[in-house]
Amino acid sequence: MPRLAVEPHYVARTGWLRAAVLGANDGIVSIASLIIGVAASNATRGEILIAGAAGLVAGAMSMAAGEYVSVSSQSDTEQADLGRERKEHDNDKAAEHEELVQIYVERGLKPETAQEVATQLVARDPVAAHARDELGILEMTAARPLQAAWASATTFIIGAAAPLLVVVLAPAQLAVPLIAASSLAFLALLGAIGAMAGGANIWRGTARVLIWGALAMALTAGIGRLVGTAV
């Protein structure tokens, strides 16, 4: 019998996609907001670039560290649960087998079918069977700290570089509106790409990043103007 082709699934991308979208979105919003706030206070181009570059480095390291620590905590929890399942199976195989049978019965299998399914899956890998069907831990969605940290930091740098490039190229008197407009365009593109990669509605994904990005930039621009006026 020919082997069926494996269908690609969007859920397999959740590990890196969430971190990548978060990193890129934070890179664009935080650095654009920072630059707009500094520019609105009548700072020079050099001061704006220094602030933006410092924000890029600090933000990328923060995103990498934050993702690694948080996803590592998830991984530790998963491993602790797997270790407990392994110990429970070693101590009482019959009870663990019956637990699987009941899970399959609750999902709609007949008792005799559930018995046969549990027997075959446990014979192959008892811990994997409990991980998948009792704990909901799947190989494609398991926590991967290094992958999340790399994806988040890399996309943060890419996202943050976009508004910095506008600062370099834009005329000084048009810096704030050009940074805001280009950053919103970058956010719209990010929302659309993220939605397509995750199989979600493109318009919804684009709208939510635009709304929050515009709000963040408006608030920092207002603060920058207040500080610049006060100084």
Condensed to tens digits (0 to 9), the pLDDT of residues 57-94 reads 998 998 888 888 887 887 788 778 778 878 877 788 88
In a domain, 159, yes or no: yes
Residue 74: both structure tokens together? 């998830």
Give me the domain span that covers residue 31. Answer: 10-82+142-230
Residues 55 and 31: their CA atoms lie apart, in Å, by 6
Split at pLDDT 50, 70, 90, the class of 54 is very high
What pLDDT shows up at residue 225? 63
In a domain, 226, yes or no: yes
In a domain, 123, yes or no: no
Lowest-confidence pick of 48-62, 69-83, 94-108, 216-230? 216-230
Residues 6+ apart with CB under 8 A from 85: 96, 127, 130, 131, 134, 135
In a domain, 129, yes or no: no
Residue 5, φ and ψ in degrees, nearest 5? -70, 140
List, for residues 17-30, the tens digit of each pLDDT value: 667 777 888 888 88
In a domain, 189, yes or no: yes
Which of helix, strand or coil describes residue 143?
coil
- Distance in angstroms between the alpha carbons of the first and the last residue of the chain: 78
What pLDDT shows up at residue 157? 92
In a domain, 192, yes or no: yes
In a domain, 112, yes or no: no
With left for phi above 0 and alpha for psi between -120 and 50, is residue 8 left, alpha or beta? beta
Structural domain total, the chain: 1
pLDDT at 186 over 70: yes
Residues 89 and 93: their CA atoms lie apart, in Å, by 5
In a domain, 67, yes or no: yes
Mean pLDDT within 210-218 = 77
